[in-house]
Amino acid sequence: MADRSADRPPARRPGGRNARVRAQILAATTELVARDGIAGFRYEEVAELAGVHKTSVYRNWPDREELVVEALLCYADDLASVEDTGDLHRDLADFLMGIAGGLETPFGRTLEQAIQPARQSPAVRQALARILDQRVAALQRRVDTAVDRGELPPVDSFFLGEMLSGPVRLIVNRGMRPFTRTDAERIVGVVLAGIRATAPHV
């Protein structure tokens, strides 16, 4: 019996072309929202930047708000990681360098821009809250480990995160100079020294 395997079309890989198209559309959406704001981008521009036909955007996301929310969530993972090398100072400095780098990406600009307006749709607010919650939870886990090891006194991780990330955002958003490793080291050193100095003594 003849082997007809050569006549068969190649098996389609999971996801395939549609997965690539969706990824291109999400990346383009993130970049455009960062540039023009959530209300400012148009499907035509998304399609042009993604290198796809406009109908591909409409077919995958009939609702523009759903497209924005998915783009926000899709690119959030890198902003919610804190390494545990055993060196708290180094890990927090790495975290700040990651925040600074993230703020300079299309997604980081998107997140910063989306946070600013006082009014957002419930879906967008929920997505932003989820992203920020992920970051707080990651930092909480690292801080809890440091407390357990005796590296830090008990501390509110949300407060610690705000004290650490505030100067980073100020330097990056001013755009007057790059945020450096020296900046990260100094911020972590000052904040941790303050936390330890003001801890209640039992």
Catalogue all structural domains in the chain, each as residue range(s) with its CATH number.
16-72 (1.10.10.60), 77-197 (1.10.357.10)
How far apart are alpha carbons 120 and 92 in whole angstroms?
Answer: 31
- Burial string for 112-141 (b: 16+ CB within 10 Å, else e) reads ebbeeeeebeeebeebbeebbebbeebbbe
DSSP states of 135-179: HHHHHHHHHHHHHHTTSS-S--HHHHHHHHHHHHHHHHHH-SS--
The model's pTM is 0.66
Give the pair of three-digit tokens for residue 71. Answer: 């783009």
Q: Is the dihedral of CA 110, 116, 117, 123 positive or negative?
A: positive
Using left for φ > 0, alpha for ψ between -120 and 50, and beta otherwise, residue 185 falls in: alpha
Question: What mean pLDDT value characterizes the chain?
Answer: 81
Q: Is the dihedral of CA 166, 86, 186, 95 positive or negative?
A: negative
3-state SS, residue 82? coil
**Looking at the predicted structure, is the pLDDT value of residue 159 above 60?**
yes
- Nearest-Å Rg of the Cα atoms of the chain is 22
Q: How confident is the model at residue 13 (pLDDT cuts 50, 70, 90)?
A: very low
Per-residue pLDDT tens digits for 86-139: 999 999 999 999 888 877 776 666 666 665 554 567 777 777 777 777 778 888
The residue among 104 and 2 whose pLDDT is bigger is 104
3-state SS, residue 112? helix
Q: How large is the greatest C-alpha to C-alpha distance in the chain, in angstroms?
A: 86
Q: Which residue has the tokens 């395997």?
A: 5
How far apart are alpha carbons 176 and 131 in whole angstroms?
Answer: 27
**Looking at the predicted structure, is the pLDDT value of residue 10 above 70?**
no
Per-residue pLDDT tens digits for 39-76: 677 889 999 999 999 999 999 999 888 888 888 777 66
The residue among 37 and 51 whose pLDDT is bigger is 51
Percentage of residues in the chain having pLDDT higher than 90: 36
